[in-house]
Chain A
Amino acid sequence: MIRPALIGLALLLAQPALAQERVLSIGGAVSETVAALGQEARLVARDTTTTYPPALTALPDVGYMRQLSPEGVLSVGPDLILMAEGAGPPETLATLRAAGIAMVEVPEGHTPGAVQEKIRVIAAALGVDEAGAALADQLGAEIAAATAQATAEPGPKPRVLFILGNSGGRLTGAGTGTSAEAMIALAGGVNALEGFAGYKALSDEAIAAAAPDVLLVMDRGAGDTSEGVSDDRDYLTHPAIAATPAGREARVVRMEGMFLLGFGPRTAEAITALHAALYPKAP
């Protein structure tokens, strides 16, 4: 049963390659962009971080983007690999390059300009430069509008504490230079954590000193009980959080990770959503 299918795959491999008609997309934002360009029919496989649009999850999954296996990738028969910066490991990439597969690395970045650049790079690789330019221009305008609206809010900007994970009461927060910080700023907030770079475990004192007005937490979808995902109550009853303004007023904002931090074609939408959550209209 499996054997004929596998042999079928092998035969597919044997067919002469048409110019980049079999695309493997590595990285959630890269896949979203391919779909936004209307090219999802050319995708033959995806990585684990590709979850949007939901239809793409039906494609074969070649694994976590930093742990790709050479045969796994070759087995889906790609003639073009679009991969987010950081995909690997390097040995696998070297083997794939040696096998003669075209590879394009899509640069990562947390600015509106970087989002547009991603789109242009992907569009150029797929040979749809014009559609790419149109999408990049449109998204650039949308992001500019969303950001302008968000940063025009009167009064003090809310201090936002982004929490990546919670393991047994130890919270991991986003410091400077993170994608979360960039997103918070675009949506009219201020990162409550400063003084360290990247994602770090937070001490109770650091949380108290951050004095956030809002907690921003990852929501990986309903029913997700994996490690690091907690109920609002877990955060609000955390002794250090409870003493902060956010804890007292029970302000917890949940957003889906890939949507919020992907810096893909949904960036403008995400800025607007986060902005709305940070500045709730008085009832």
Chain B
Amino acid sequence: MLQATGLWAHLGGRAVLNGVDFHARPGQITAIVGPNGSGKTTLMRRLTGDLTGPGEVTLGGDPLARLSPRALALRRAVLPQAGTLGFPFTLREVVRMGHQAGAAAPEPGIVEAALDEVGLGAKIDGLFQDMSGGEQARGHLARVRAQVWHPVQEGRPAWLFVDEPVAALDIGHQLQVMAVLRRFADAGGGVIAVMHDLNLTAMHAERIVLMEAGRIAAAGPPAEVMTGPLLSRAYRCQLCLNTAPEQGIWLLPHAASLG
């Protein structure tokens, strides 16, 4: 269980989080959605411990502030938005760094398995810098997966924090990445994802947290949060919501409004 209470954050004198309470359960994908500037990424940074401030975050009952970077790395991995690599490391070396960060004793075969999971097994000895944006994004996903390879370690769930994991990807790879997160959650791990794509969110998340102006506007299963009035107000546009038998809710943008 990940639990946060009374989180505040200020940027440039402006409150970007106004006393947010948040929780997420292992075995689920918890998606954080909301318009640009609503505080999604700031909330994520408070939850990973990158940002400190008023309020408390606990991971499995342990306050984040009391865990060392190393102890934290054994229990959760974070997939950031795009980044650059300073030196010509190979894909294998990058993913191995992730595995070494999360394993008390490295296990053979995990680097390869993590790369196979994201469909990059054939490029294992290629230079990371030479790869396309989409390949680098999946390479980073393999790295964080290799860090928390076992969704449940020593009886404790591991956590994956992913910030817009499908931003640079085509639709096929978007589904592939969501499938990776899905399997991790199904095996007992916890996933917290900042998402822009509401359709993918609706398809995969068990729980959706809708942010609006630094507050949580709604939180709950897709059926409760993905409603016309809530989304239209948060995103300031008109959306056409439908349901499909297999897929659940899906939506189409309709018109800008509430300008």
Direct contact, A vs B (beta carbon within 8 Å): no
- B residues contacting A by CB (< 8 A) are none
